[in-house]
Amino acid sequence: MPKNNFSRSFSVRDMAIAGLIAALYAVLGYFANIFGLTFGPFQMRFSEALCVLPFFFPAAVPGLAVGCLVVNLLSPYGALDIIFGTLATLLAAVWTRQTHRKWLAPLPPVICNALMIPAVIALQTTVPFSTAFWSTFVWNAFTIGLGELAACYILGGLLLARLPKITPLKRYFS
């Protein structure tokens, strides 16, 4: 399967994959929200593990964006998080799709979320570009980055390693 295959037509199979990924992302995001892990200064969204899927499936790109949009509708940070949180996931998914090494696939969501989401939180909770803004931004970049590292490299790494070995899925990885 060619890595840079955004120009091909989007098949029914692709729509089904995108829909499944969107639904799974939303369910996992809502589940993490029960434990207070979806929003705030420390985020450990289990759903972020799915952000490695564009490495294998082009259809994961829109699926992740839609799933993230659905979860972000609960955000206490309002429209900024709905827009820029979803954009962070979309950019990360497109970037992940462009990676050529498995060990790099979890990195784009870590970087995108560790830079974009802290800015949203700092803008919503402090005076923009004040000293408090920058200290809030740096703290949230650190804590959200750690949560992303755990979700993407540990849980996402398991997906990267195990998905190609699942018998019914093997034909998609040849």
Lowest mean pLDDT among 26-30, 33-37, 129-133: 33-37
Residue 2 has pLDDT above 60, yes or no: no
| Centroid of chain to Cα 21 | 11
Residue range 5-9: average pLDDT? 62
At 63, the pLDDT band (50, 70, 90 cuts) reads very high
Residue range 132-161: average pLDDT? 95
* DSSP-assigned letter for residue 130: S
Distance CA 104, CA 17 (A): 22
Residue range 131-159: average pLDDT? 95
Average pLDDT, the chain: 91
Residue type, 117: I
* DSSP-assigned letter for residue 169: G
Residue 161 has pLDDT above 80, yes or no: yes
Which single residue is written with the structure tokens 């000293």? 131
At 3, the pLDDT band (50, 70, 90 cuts) reads low
Residue range 102-124: average pLDDT? 95
Residue range 61-74: average pLDDT? 96
pLDDT of residue 171: 80
Distance CA 119, CA 42 (A): 14
